[in-house]
Structure 1
Amino acid sequence: MKRHERSRISRINKVEQDAKVKYCYIIKAGWYYREHSCGYTEHVTEAGVYRKEVAIKICKLCIIEEPIPINAQKHNQQIIKQITALASRIIKQ
């Protein structure tokens, strides 16, 4: 096993053992998995939100994916900001 693979597995195990982590993004080469593993995005606000157990399972089965713990407060602030920006572009007729 190569050093970078051992390092990736170590990071996965660290997330798995952290009881504070409830949700994760899944990242692959700088790109986030979208919801339901439907493609990739570079924008965190478009990333899927996965329960930790699901993210760990996916990442252990793949060779380069990693779980990224989600800070719920920061995540929610980013989503609300995105919603506000989208709402400002609604065309009212």
Structure 2
Amino acid sequence: MAASSYSRVWKATRELGLLPGQVSSVLVARPCDLRHAGVSQWLNSGVPAPEVAARASHSVDVLLKIYAKCIAGQEAEMNDRIMKGPGEGESEMGDTE
């Protein structure tokens, strides 16, 4: 399929699927924006980078170069995790107390 055909179909799909104000925005302006949104959501949900990289067909190095900024701002949560250490607050069976 020619890129110009693909672009026309994508433009029409955006017009059908988005509200008028969204169509004029950069929201999913390109098909790859959906992929970026999905990968960013996985990382922000706490899915480990190696798993996200495998699902996105990236190396971990490439994943972190592209998406490092999407996980910025989580310093307080990460500091809490580091201070708690592994398994704190869990029973031997892995259940929380």
- So what's the TM-score if we normalise by structure 1? 0.32
**Structure number having the greater strand percentage:** 1
**Structure number having the greater helix percentage:** 2
Flag the structure with more relative contact order, 1 or 2, with Cα contacts below 8 A and sequence separation at least 6.
1
- Return the index of the structure with the highest Cα Rg: 2
